[in-house]
Amino acid sequence: MERTFIMIKPDGVKRRLVGEILGRFEKRGFQLIALKMLDVSRELAERHYEAHKGKVFYDELLEFVTSGTVVAMVLEAEDAVKLGRRMIGALDPSEAAPGTIRGDFTTSTRQNLIHGADSAEAAAREIALWFPELR
């Protein structure tokens, strides 16, 4: 079994899609290990998105993720990272397949509802960052 980190971003919380999104993961067979709702500090956002520092969209990304409440979670399943990313769908809504979270609910690459770890290493780093109590 593998663990992954998933975050429902402020637009997903504001649009009241938390239950729908979490339900999709649970129906697929993911086990919910940890969950918390929080307003993200600038410091946490900077640490989470440090790989994007210096990119043209970095400041806008930090502003967006700190603009409201998020739901952070740790989910477990076989091949959780890969399967989670497939369920989330492509970042570009015109490329996100129907049936994926982004394919069904987004129209913007900037406000794209959800983040999912993109590798096992990223998942481990993000889980440690957002859920230090799980160490």
| Cβ burial 39-56 (10 Å sphere, 16+ → b, else e) | ebeeebbbebbeeeeeee
Q: How many domains does the chain have?
A: 1
| Active-site annotation holder among 9, 48, 85, 115 | 115
Helices (H) and strands (E) in the chain, counts: 7, 4
Cβ atoms of 103 and 40 closer than 8 Å: no
**Tens digit of each residue's pLDDT (9 = 90 or more) over 4-53:** 999 999 999 999 999 999 999 999 999 999 999 999 999 999 999 988 89
Domain residue limits at 42: 2-134
**Measuring CA to CA, which residue among 2, 1, 135, 22 is closest to residue 73?**
22
The pLDDT confidence band at residue 109, using thresholds 50, 70 and 90, is: confident
Does residue 135 have a pLDDT over 80? no
By CB neighbour count within 10 A (0-12 exposed, 13-18 middle, 19+ buried), where does 60 fall? exposed
115 has catalytic annotation:
yes
18: left (phi over 0), alpha (psi -120 to 50) or beta: alpha
- 37: domain CATH number? 3.30.70.141
88-97 long-range Cβ contacts below 8 angstroms, 24+ apart: 88/114, 88/116
SS3 130: helix
How far apart, in Å, do the first and last CA atoms of the chain sit? 17
Q: What is the pTM for the complete model shown?
A: 0.92
Task: Name beta bridge partners: 72.
Answer: 7, 36
Q: What is the pLDDT of residue 26?
A: 97
